[in-house]
Structure 1
Amino acid sequence: MKPRAALGCPLLWLLCGPAVSRAAEGMWTFDNLPRAQLQARYGFEPDAAWLRHAMRSTLRLADGCSASFVSAQGLVLSNAHCVLDCVQNLSARRDHVNEGFVARTRGEELRCPSMELNRLEEIRDVSASVTEALAGKSGTDYVEARRALQAQLESECVGDQAPRRRCDLVELYGGAQYQLYRYQRYDDVRLVFWPEYAAAFFGGDPDNFNFPRYTLDAALLRAYQDGQALQPGEHLRLQPRGAQPGELLLSIGNPGHTDRQLTVAQLQTLRALRLPQTLLYYAERRAMLAQYSRAGARQANYAQADLTFTENSLKVYRAQLQALNDDGLFERKRAEEAALRKADAGLTAFDDIARAEQTLRRLYLPYQMLEQRRAFFTPYFKFARDLLRAAAERERPNAQRLPEFQDAALPTLQRRLFSASPLRDAYEETKLAWSLAKLREALGADDPLVQQVLRGQSPDARASQLLRKTRLGDVEYRRRLWQGGAQAVAASDDPFIELARALDAPSRELRRQMEADVEAPEALAAQAIARLRFAQYGRSLYPDASFTLRLSYGELRGWEENGRSVAPFTDFAAAFAHQTGAAPFLLPESWNRARARLALDTPLNFVSSHDIVGGNSGSPLLNRQGELAGLLFDGNRHSIAGAYEYDEALNRSIALHPAALLQALTRIYAAPGLAAELLDD
């Protein structure tokens, strides 16, 4: 089916096409909503005004997660775990991570060093332009043509508004459709409220991806523009009553990535190589970080965020591998593939992908170590390579650059490069030494690249040498290298710059092979498969998640498992009962002091049947009136398999109840002004 064109149209004009969904699942784009299913199942169909309000009230954190405007003065609600990096960067003088933070006046709000918010303003279908530009091309020619067109489309979209505008070329349905997403950028983002780590992560890794849960996984930010609190025009109002069991709720957020359209060959590579290697990497990384944390309170604080995210990732990848070891899943995927093959006996796309996957298996380890930087677990190396490559790429025509160095991408790159986030060299040395040892283990001590990196030294000694002599921890030094361009970078004798320089050619070659011999043929094959799916199913399809704005519908509902009924709610009383007296099952002192003031039967967390995935963290759950009735922050363990398929009987999202946030602000954190702002129309 040919994608419907919508050239130059604002989002509001895209809300007209009907679609017939196949099941109560899907992360739906706003130009192809499951209207018939919503109407048939719930007697509800969001109109243009409802959707416009929802879209203009919701946000994307540029580095991951979702959020929403929740006041007329630019107050933003997201998850505490989405803001952890910001809080840790602001904790050099006071431990806000573990002590909490409340700004009771605007003057007390602290700017997050490197955070950026994006609000989607427009979608434009550019499928025809992309299809024409890529027609007849393959391999390197395909990669270069796509790169050139991306540079052109994104640069034209950004125009002269780079400081305040971001544009992304988005591939949907395996490349059968391309859309250009235009965002408003807000890079002055300030921390307003953060609960203590013990409240935001109560239950820690044991409770992660499980339910019942008892956490206050919420944080408040404020967006500023030109030094003043932003007035966003649209925002969500908190509905303190939340929702009742069985009530329809709609999630508006930015799910990160799913693999529901992968072929059997691609899933086999995931199961046999990519997930096992990734699991091993994260398991050993967790052990290294845990050992470092045990050295003292200061070391534990330094590693806290990295350890939290590592444990979360490890749990995700373990559950994904478990899902792929389910024979039933592969039987269903093979049946789907056989049906598509039968529909077009001449289709070679599945075989083309299988051949490309063999190439991927050969390239995977060195590509991950070098180009994906698994061998260099420190921001110092990323600074060095970004500066080195930016200097070279910026001298080329925009259309010939790597995508991350094209004009439209430079504001985001500079935000990260010039962040004032503190660096702790002793901690960075530990991380780097460990990752250099992983490089030697993966490629072998006699590998020329390993010898080039270590220079005859042990990983520990080489890491110490690099950290002892580098100047890249100085933001102004990084800025001078950026401004000085190729000449300044070439003259730099910083050891990380020298290391990045030595590895640039082999790393670029690995990337070239991966793009030309794996990504390009798989993209062409995926387009052919997607066209066949469109012919079979029409617009009842939804695309894989791509960290773009999606709508998911569901209802507040528990589930049945192993003969046991899991109730949909927890409350404050259950949270206190869940304490054991030791972390991670120890609520912060502020909670225990406030216990007598709390209405302990107030709902705290709840589950719903929404189809969600990573990136949906921070998504608002809206009721029929467009009010915020919940804040998504996690899924149950069954939801992790949602990367590959959705099971409505078991998959559940986990959310914070709005009444819990209001009670915490007023009775625990003495911030009634923030609670009032959340309720103010």
Structure 2
Amino acid sequence: MTSKKKTLLFTALLTFMIAGSAYRPPDEGMYPLSELKKVSLNKAGLKISMKDIYNPDSVSLVDALVNVGGCTGSFISDEGLIITNHHCAFSAVQLASTPENDYLNKGFTARSREQEIEAKGLTCRITESYEDVSDKILGVTKGVTDPATRIRVINAEMKRLAAQAEAQDPSIKAEVSEMFIGKAYVLFRYKIIQDVRLVYVPSRNVGEFGGETDNWVWPRHTGDFSFMRAYVAPDGSAAKYSKNNVPYKPKKFLRVNANGVNENDFVFILGYPGRTFRNRPAQFIQYQQEYLLPYVSNLYEFQNKAMEDAGRKDKATELRLATRIKRNANVLKNYRGKLKGLNGLELTDQKRREDADLANYINSNVELKEKYGTLMSDIDNLYKTIYRDAFREMWFTQIYGSTSLLSVARQINLFKASMSAKPVSERARFYTDSVGVLEQKLRTLYESFDIDADRTIFSRMLSDASKLPASQRVAAVDKKVMKGFNGQEQVDKFVDATLQYTRLKDQAYVFNTLMKSAAQMGSYNDPLLAFEADLRSQIDGLRQERERRDGLLNKLMGDYVAVKEKFRQRDFIPDANSTLRLTYGYVRGYSPADATYMKPFTTIQGVLEKGATGNPEFKYPPVMKELWQKKDFGPFVKKELNDVPVAFLYNLDTTGGNSGSPVMNGNGELIGVNFDRAYEATINDYAWNESYSRSIGVDIRYVLWVASKVDKADFLLREIGVKL
């Protein structure tokens, strides 16, 4: 039987099972607040009012949501306590760790407010309100025919409206988000909390149990949770970290239901999903499949090996590079999962057929043909130019993030250029006013810098550039590296000489000497700065063409969605774009392969079974085995399993950014924390299907069991109102 026939058979069986049960399949989509009126949640299983979820005139569940460090979190007490994922706190825990206080591996528990430590680099963003500004944004494009000019005026108007909102209310941060590319825009107002502190983070062998072996895989046994606390100034205003700050009093916090959920129970998520690309044509999917996904995954695999090798020198280096390695590894496995999904589903071909049907629809209608007759060919021609420069563009996108010292050089060169642009009489003042911002940027870069890792990765990047086709050359590499080029030896020679000579690798010199005065900064130069300047010169020279393409794409995608809605005779849900969304569904297992069914719950028994395999990524705190053997589960046992559920599956529509999102039951109570998707669901960014799209959450019962039984953090349970 072909895979397509198997899929049809499974779908038919699934339909039969659904028809004979109370189970209702969810609708595809991550619904913005403005689209909630289109969702029949009460019919699906919601037991509270829709206004309890979002009410612009009163307090509702959305007021308990925060965006923290690019993830989602939720308030679970009136003292600003936040629950989110372990991996969302990872970078802050890494920055707080030292070889003497290795919180990253051993975990951290603050048993009093005084012991809570700053979560460096993390802030909280709370959605205050939103406003549709599509007419205002698109109004400024009337009469504008040049694509580059069009995108510039759109971006300028987005910034103007955000600045206007902030001027009207200085206490908020405003941002205009593009909901449909080239078509719909919404102004969001956010409250920003700048003082976030770590409260409780389990040990790494709980919070990252399974490591990369289990990442994006089901069955999962990862306790991916952590607790933070938001602080503000005594008057309630946002303030940077200070001992005088007090816990933030949220308008709303979620109630924790320690009883958890059962299979087929209705659940929903509120969160800040990153980006999806479901309303794009076949050419976009082809670009992902043939260019971006393989390039980045292969590059990140190389980078991680280089950083892991460097980390073997000593514990301090290992800790310093840990966050970069973890982020790369997560993207790497995600991208390879997407490639597997794209190949398996033949999504590009499917999109081509859909686009061909759309073209026929346009051509069959005189009015549509007059307005959109060249739409599909224009899209195709645009992507041909994008493919033509793809490898150089990807190289430029990755080069600064690959090599920390090159990013340091970029920041210094930009600062010097800004200072040089000022009249001589104003340069000293500019330096005094701006050097603090530069220093902060550089300190962030140096926090994850290692010279050996930089050397290896820089050499790889230059070697890749040397092999680009004639039409995609990197001028700085040809100028500095390719003279008398004799292969990798020449690349290594250039890298060694450049890194040996530059003093940017010496943090003490940079902060204590180079940044001592405007004169010192202005007069300093070295080969790395010169190489970066040449790089940036070509990037700047290509900007006009990129703006032309972006502007043209913006207009074409707006038309593409508009005519596709007419063709399908329905409105689309906007792609995710880091704004607050709702998705709903049910606790449910799935069948990823023939004769295989994945149950929706894992247990502590599974933790112990994996630990017995000898894989070092499956180590766990020894006390867990003792507690399990005694059946010391407290009130957190799931009777049907005679065990504590660790993680669970549900068919909600999620993507990156939903990490840390609260999973809630029909009463709006917290019963889990979302942290991942099954491997088959990595393709969610491009397509969603109830048969294979499964998200993974850590069960609140496991969170509470680990906190109380393993780490003796009963104070947390008392704060959130859970009785032992």
TM-score (norm 1): 0.86
Match of 2:78 in 1: 72
Q: Distance in 2 between matches of 1:618 and 1:266?
A: 29
RMSD over aligned Cα atoms: 3.3
The residue identity in structure 2 corresponding to 1:103 is A
Question: How far 1:510 sits from its partner (Å)?
Answer: 3.0
Where do residues 523-672 of structure 1 align in structure 2 (5 Å cutoff)?
Answer: 523-537=554-568, 540-561=571-592, 562-579=594-611, 580-589=613-622, 591-592=624-625, 595=628, 596=630, 598-599=632-633, 601-672=643-714
Deviation per residue, 1:310-341 (Å, 9 max, x gap): 22211111111222223642343233223322
Q: Does 1:55 align with 2:67?
A: no
User: Compared with structure 1, are the counterparts of its residues 84 and 462 closer, same or farther at alpha carbon in structure 2 (3 Å cutoff)?
Assistant: farther
2:647 and 2:698 in contact (8 A); partners too: yes
Q: Is contact 2:293-2:339 (8 Å) kept? A: yes
Q: What amino acid sits opposite 2:126 in the alignment?
A: R
- The alignment partner of 1:621 has SS state of strand
Question: 2:616 corresponds to which letter in structure 1?
Answer: A
Provide the residue aligned with 2:247 in structure 1: 229
Alignment of 1:20-419 (within 5 A): 24-33=27-36, 35-42=38-45, 46-52=49-55, 53-62=60-69, 64-92=70-98, 93-135=100-142, 136-159=144-167, 165-226=172-233, 227-295=245-313, 297-326=315-344, 328-345=346-363, 346=369, 347=372, 348-370=374-396, 372-374=397-399, 377-386=402-411, 388-389=413-414, 417=441
Q: Is there any run of 5+ residues in structure 1 with no aligned partner, and where?
A: 1-20, 398-409
Distance 1:330 1:369, change over 3 A: closer
Question: Residue 174 of structure 2 aligns to a residue in which SS?
Answer: strand
Is the partner of 1:183 in helix, strand or coil? strand
Deviation at 1:229, TM superposition (A): 1.2
How far the C-alpha of 1:548 sits from its partner, in A, is: 1.2
In structure 2, relative to structure 1, the CA distance for the partners of 1:390 and 1:421 (3 Å cut) is closer
Cα distance between partner residues in 2 of 1:592 and 1:296 = 31
Residue 175 of structure 1 aligns to a residue whose secondary structure is coil
Residue 23 and residue 626 in structure 1: after superposition, are their counterparts in 2 closer, same or farther (change >3 A)?
Answer: closer
Q: C-alpha distance in 2, partners of 1:161/1:465? A: 50
- Compute the displacement of 1:46 (Å): 4.1
Is the deviation greater in 222-231 or in 38-47?
A: 38-47
* CA shift in 2, pair 1:60/1:24, >3 Å: same
Equivalent residue in structure 1 for 2:533, among 492, 498, 501: 501
- AA partner of residue 368 (structure 1): M
| Amino acid in structure 1 at the alignment position of 2:461 | K
Residue equivalent to 1:10: none
Unaligned runs of 5+ in 2: 1-23, 234-244, 364-368, 423-433, 483-489, 638-642
Q: Is the 8 A contact 1:349 1:526 kept in 2?
A: no
2:47 and 2:667 in contact (8 A); partners too: no
Contact 1:429 1:464 in 2 (8 A): no
1:391, distance to aligned residue in structure 2 (A):
6.7
1: distance between equivalents of 2:27 and 2:624? 39
Tell me the amino acid that sits aligned with residue 641 of structure 1: I
Aligned to 1:449: 476
Aligned counterparts of 1:621 and 1:298: Cα–Cα separation in 2: 36
Counterpart of 1:431 in structure 2 is 454
How far the C-alpha of 1:289 sits from its partner, in A, is 2.9
3-state SS of 1:221 partner: strand
Question: In structure 2, how many angstroms separate the alpha carbons of the residues matched to 1:361 and 1:102?
Answer: 50
Q: Which has the larger radius of gyration?
A: 2
Secondary structure at 1:374 match in 2: helix
Distance (Å, rounded) in 2 between the aligned partners of 1:182 and 1:396: 34
Question: Secondary structure of the residue that 1:193 maps to in structure 2?
Answer: strand
Give the match for residue 512 of structure 1. 544
Contact conserved, 2:216 with 2:679, CA < 8 A, in 1?
A: yes
Deviates more, 1:232-241 or 1:570-579: 570-579
- Answer yes or no: is the 8 Å Cα contact 1:127–1:179 preserved in 2: yes
Verify the 8 A CA contact 2:66 2:75 in the aligned structure 1.
yes
Other structure's SS at 1:564 match: coil
Q: In structure 1, what is the equivalent of residue 426 of structure 2?
A: none
1: CA distance, partners of 2:332 / 2:34:
35
State which drifts further: 436-445 or 645-654: 436-445
CA distance in 1, matches of 2:421, 2:187: 24
* Deviation larger for 499-508 or 114-123: 499-508
> CA offset at residue 377 of structure 1?
1.9
> Alpha carbons of 1:413 and 1:246: their partners in 2 closer, same or farther (altered >3 Å)?
farther
Cα pair 1:89 1:421 within 8 Å, conserved:
no
For residues 344 and 253 of structure 1, what CA distance do their matches in structure 2 show?
37
Distance in 2 between the 1:373 and 1:331 partners? 29
AA of the residue aligned to 1:180: L
Q: Which secondary structure state, in structure 2, belongs to the residue aligned with residue 77 of structure 1? A: strand
After TM superposition, give the deviation of residue 428 of structure 1 in Å: 4.0
Closer/same/farther in 2, CA of residues 489 and 295 from structure 1, 3 Å limit = closer
Contact persistence 1:28–1:34 (CA under 8 A): no
Distance change >3 Å, CA 550–CA 538, structure 1 → 2: farther
